[in-house]
Structure 1
Amino acid sequence: MKHPDGTLARLGDKVLVWEGNEGVVIRSMDTDEYFEQYPKEAFGYLEQGIMVLSEKAGLIHYVKPEEGMQLIEWKK
């Protein structure tokens, strides 16, 4: 999945999910990247997109970015 600005979403990217709710990309099915706490075996049924751990809504699966979603800081 790509962020609205066109950059590829990567593990550790910090995003504004919606106004007042930030999160971190904790899993990318597209690049096969994930933090150990969110193993491939647990989320293998999600075949594409990213998972974001957000402050106010918990885990959210995205196949495409929501309107208003913004990349705050990308993982180098």
Structure 2
Amino acid sequence: MKYPDGILARLGDKIVVWEGNEGVVVCSMDTDEYSEEYPRENVGYLGRGIMVLSEKAGLIHYLT
């Protein structure tokens, strides 16, 4: 998944989900990067996109 500026989303990126709610990329199926908390074995079935753990909404799956 790419950000609007064309940069590829990567594991550990900190993002603003919406104003007042920040999050961190905890896995990217697109780049095959997974954190210890969200390993490929548990979330790889999603196939594509990224997972973001946000402060206010919890875990969010964004598709590319």
Match in the other structure for 2:22: 22
Task: Between the two structures, name the one with larger relative contact order (CA 8 Å, sep ≥ 6).
Answer: 1
Q: Aligned Cα RMSD in Å?
A: 0.7
Number of matched residues? 64
Provide the identity percentage. Answer: 77
Q: Any unmatched runs of 5+ in structure 1?
A: 65-76
Match in the other structure for 1:43: 43
* Displaced runs of 4 or more, over 4 A: none
Question: Residues of 2 paired with 1:4 and 1:24: CA distance?
Answer: 17
CA deviations on 1:27-58 (whole Å, 9 max, x unpaired) are 00000001111011111211000000000000
Q: Any unmatched runs of 5+ in structure 2?
A: none
TM-score for the superposition, normalised by structure 1: 0.81
Question: Residues of 2 paired with 1:62 and 1:12: CA distance?
Answer: 15
Task: Report which of the two has the higher share of helix.
Answer: 2
